[in-house]
């Protein structure tokens, strides 16, 4: 089975712009979660989508949003970028209960200048 | 408020010896625990998990132990190999509440010396 794929792998944006990141989960996985990794805050949960619905949300401002399509692919959007949004954004997919393992993609490295 | 803590930022062991990575948690609602291995600029790779109804789970060279009363888990790697050198993250999830968010520790950098 192919793993989780994320595009693009690297991105450079300017403050105030917006960005959209894409994630394709492992075939058959219906749950997609997004995480942010920064040196200061570590790995933090952004949100989780299941069957096109946001099921869980982390403690991030409304500038961070996402969606999931009927084929389980997911996109994450960040509007009005700030310097502090520079991070590695990771997508993870899961088959759901009874196991809770999440399998991560390679990430998108976002740099905001 | 860190709900999952990995108090050792780094660990160095000799090839062939045992590596023991530790993790503590504070949230009693956590009922499933996972260990991930991560290389720089890559996503975490799932290693092994354990449900709170068990106290041990083995998979090859990796064994995870859970002590619920102490809210402590550990990952044992035997024997350690140079390819095991990476950052290891402990993660926990509140499976029963339906909150499918992994809460991660800050990671332990393992270096296995040849």
Cβ-based contacts of A43 with chain B (< 8 Å): 44, 89, 91, 102, 104
Give the phi and the psi of residue A14 in degrees, each rounded to 5: -105, 150
Q: What is the mean pLDDT of residues A77-94?
A: 97
- pLDDT for B97 equals 76
Closest Cα in chain B, distance from residue A110 (Å): 11
B32 forms beta bridges with B51, B93
Cβ B19 vs Cβ B13: under 8 Å = yes
- Quote the minimal CA–CA distance from B101 to chain A in Å: 6
Contact A92 B102 (CB under 8 A): yes
Looking at residue A29, its pLDDT comes to 93
Q: Cβ A90–B44 below 8 Å, yes or no? A: yes
Query: No. of H helices and E strands in chain A?
Result: 0, 11
Q: Are B100 and A31 a contacting pair at CB < 8 A?
A: yes
Instruction: Give A41's contacts (C-beta < 8 A, 6+ positions apart).
Output: none
Which residues does B57 contact at the CB level (< 8 Å), separation at least 6? Answer: B48, B49, B50, B63, B64
Show the tokens assigned to A44: 């933090």
pLDDT of B66:
98
Q: Report the C-alpha gap between B83 and B39 in whole angstroms.
A: 11
**Interval A20-44: pLDDT, tens:** 999 999 999 999 999 999 988 899 9
Residue B28: per-residue pLDDT: 94
Does the pLDDT at position B40 exceed 90? no
Work out the average pLDDT over B67-96: 95
Mutate to test the interface with A, among B32, B44, B98 (most CBs of A within 10 A): B44
In the sheet with A5-7, reading across from the earlier edge strand, the strands are: A5-7, A19-24, A74-78, A64-68
Q: Is the pLDDT of residue B98 over 90?
A: no
Express as a percent the part of chain A with pLDDT over 70. 97
Question: How far is the alpha carbon of B32 from chain A, nearest alpha carbon, in Å?
Answer: 7
| Tens digit of each residue's pLDDT (9 = 90 or more) over B8-20 | 999 999 999 999 9
């Amino acid at each position: 089975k192919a793993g989780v794929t994320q595009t693009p792998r690297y991105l450079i944006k300017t403050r105030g712009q917006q960005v959209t990141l894409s994630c394709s989960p492992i075939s058959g996985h219906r749950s997609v979660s997004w995480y942010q990794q920064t040196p200061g805050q570590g790995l933090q949960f952004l949100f989780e989508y299941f069957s096109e619905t946001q099921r869980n949300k982390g403690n991030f401002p409304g500038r961070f949003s996402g969606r999931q399509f009927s084929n389980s692919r997911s996109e994450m959007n960040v509007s009005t970028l700030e310097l502090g949004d520079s991070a590695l954004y990771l997508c993870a997919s899961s088959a759901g209960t009874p196991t809770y393992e999440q399998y991560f993609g390679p990430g998108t490295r976002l740099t905001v200048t | 408020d860190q709900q999952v803590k990995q108090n050792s930022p780094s660990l160095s062991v000799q090839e062939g010896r045992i590596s023991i990575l530790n993790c503590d948690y504070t949230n009693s609602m956590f009922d499933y625990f996972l260990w991930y291995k991560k290389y720089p600029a890559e996503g975490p790779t799932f290693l092994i998990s354990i449900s709170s109804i068990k106290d041990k789970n083995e998979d090859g060279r990796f064994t995870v132990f859970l002590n619920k009363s102490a809210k402590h888990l550990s990952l044992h790697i035997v024997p350690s190999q140079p390819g095991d050198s990476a950052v290891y993250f402990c993660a926990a999830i509140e499976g029963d509440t339906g909150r499918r968010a992994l809460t991660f520790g800050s990671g332990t950098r393992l270096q296995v010396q040849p």
